[in-house]
C-alpha cells in the first residue's frame, strides 16, 4: 500500500534504536527525509548510513539529551519545519513508589513526559501556521492500566494519553492531527533485560525469559516493525479522520489482562 508520504519530512526522537529506529526505516522506505535525534552519536550515524544506503533519502542526525529543555529548544530550532513529528525518546524506570527515587522519577519524566510536551510546544505552531502536519506520540500500554510496580511509567503514560486527547481534538481545526500509539511488550534490548529480571524472580533463571510469553494471547512479544507500520499509517493521509486518539498495539493483551 502506497502511503503517499514520499517527499515529506519527519523528525523522530529516540531514533537510534528500538521502535524509533524502526519507524525511521519504515518512513524512509516510504520516501520521507528524516531528522533523527538521540544521545548515542555513533549509533545514530550507523542508522543514518544504513538508511541512506537502502533508500537514498536525506538523513540528518543530532546527538542530544532531550531531558534538557535547552536541548529540546535547540532541536526544534535546527530541525526547522517538518511534516511529521514522532515523539519517541524516553525510558521511565520501573519500580514501586518506594523503589523509584524522586530524582529517577523526575529524570524519566523530564525525558519522556516533558520532552514530548515541550517539543510539541515548539513544533505544533509551525504546523498550525502551514495548516498541515501530524504528531505521533509513542506512549505505552502502561498508561491504560494501574501497575503499582511500574508506577512512574503508568502515571507518565496516562498523562501523555490525555495530552494527546487535549490537543488532538482542537488541532484538527488547523489541519494538524495529533495521535498516539500504545505498544504493549515489544521486543527490544531494554524489554529483554526486563524480561530476564522477571524470569529470574518468577522462574529462578534469567535464561527462562522466553517462557514468560506462553501467557500472552499469541505467545510472543511484539516486534518493533509492528509498531512502526502503525506509526507510518497514522502519519499518512489514509488516517486523515483520526486525531486525539490512542491506538493500542498489544495483540489483545489488555483485554485478556495477564500479569506481565
Q: Are residues 202 and 177 in the same domain?
A: no
- Phi, psi torsion values for 102, nearest 5 degrees: -55, -35
Using alpha carbons only, give the angle 52, 54, 60 rounded to the nearest 5 degrees: 20
Q: Are residues 203 and 134 in the same domain?
A: no
Q: Are residues 59 and 149 in the same domain?
A: yes
The DSSP letter of residue 237 is G
Q: Are residues 98 and 41 in the same domain?
A: yes
Q: Is residue 174 part of a domain?
A: yes
The rounded distance, in Å, linking the Cα atoms of 204 and 190 is 20
Q: Are residues 210 and 239 in the same domain?
A: no
Q: Are residues 91 and 209 in the same domain?
A: no
Beta bridge partners of 137: 87, 180
Give the alpha-carbon dihedral of 198, 199, 204, 208, to 10 degrees. Answer: -170
Query: In CATH, what number is assigned to the domain containing residue 176?
Result: 3.40.50.720
Total domains, the chain: 2
Q: Is residue 250 part of a domain?
A: no
Q: Is residue 256 part of a domain?
A: no
Q: Are residues 104 and 211 in the same domain?
A: no
Q: Are residues 97 and 199 in the same domain?
A: no
Q: Are residues 100 and 204 in the same domain?
A: no
Q: Are residues 131 and 217 in the same domain?
A: no
| 197 pLDDT tier (thresholds 50, 70, 90) | confident
Q: Are residues 129 and 231 in the same domain?
A: yes
Listed residue (92, 148, 150) closest to 116, CA to CA: 92
The rounded distance, in Å, linking the Cα atoms of 73 and 69 is 6
- Phi, psi torsion values for 259, nearest 5 degrees: -90, 130
State residue 45's pLDDT score. 97
**Residue 149 CA to its chain's centroid (Å):** 21
Q: How many helices (H) and strands (E) does the chain have?
A: 9, 7
Q: Is residue 251 part of a domain?
A: no
Beta bridge partners of 16: none
The rounded distance, in Å, linking the Cα atoms of 197 and 110 is 25
- Phi, psi torsion values for 216, nearest 5 degrees: -80, 150
Range of the domain at 202: 189-221
pTM for the complete prediction? 0.93
Q: State yes or no: pLDDT of 26 exceeds 90.
A: yes
Express each pLDDT in 148-190 by its tens digit: 999 999 999 999 999 999 999 999 999 999 999 999 989 887 7
Q: Is residue 249 part of a domain?
A: no
Amino acid at each position: 500500500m502506497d502511503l503517499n508520504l514520499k517527499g515529506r519530512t519527519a523528525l523522530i526522537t529516540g531514533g537510534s534504536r528500538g521502535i524509533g529506529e524502526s519507524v525511521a526505516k519504515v518512513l524512509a522506505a516510504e520516501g520521507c527525509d528524516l531528522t533523527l535525534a538521540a544521545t548515542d552519536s555513533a549509533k545514530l550515524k550507523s542508522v543514518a548510513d544504513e538508511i541512506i544506503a537502502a533508500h537514498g533519502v536525506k538523513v540528518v542526525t543530532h546527538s542530544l539529551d532531550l531531558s534538557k529543555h535547552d536541548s529540546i529548544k535547540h532541536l526544534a530550532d535546527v530541525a526547522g519545519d517538518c511534516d511529521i513529528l514522532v515523539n519517541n525518546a524516553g525510558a521511565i524506570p520501573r519500580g514501586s513508589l518506594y523503589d523509584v527515587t524522586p530524582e529517577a522519577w523526575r529524570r524519566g519524566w523530564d525525558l519522556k513526559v516533558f520532552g514530548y510536551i515541550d517539543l510539541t510546544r515548539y513544533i505544533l505552531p509551525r504546523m498550525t501556521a502551514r495548516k498541515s502536519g501530524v504528531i505521533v506520540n509513542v506512549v505505552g500500554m502502561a498508561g491504560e492500566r494501574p501497575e503499582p510496580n511500574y508506577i512512574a511509567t503508568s502515571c507518565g503514560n496516562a498523562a501523555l494519553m490525555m495530552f494527546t486527547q487535549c490537543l488532538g481534538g482542537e488541532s484538527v481545526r488547523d489541519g494538524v492531527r495529533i495521535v498516539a500509539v500504545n505498544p504493549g511488550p515489544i521486543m527490544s534490548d531494554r524489554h529483554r533485560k526486563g524480561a530476564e529480571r522477571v524470569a529470574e524472580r518468577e522462574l529462578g533463571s534469567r535464561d527462562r525469559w522466553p517462557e514468560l510469553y506462553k501467557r500472552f494471547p499469541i505467545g510472543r512479544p511484539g516486534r518493533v516493525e509492528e509498531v512502526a507500520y502503525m506509526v507510518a499509517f497514522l502519519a499518512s493521509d489514509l488516517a486523515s479522520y483520526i486525531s486525539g486518539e490512542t491506538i493500542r498495539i498489544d495483540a489483545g493483551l489488555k483485554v485478556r489482562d495477564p500479569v506481565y
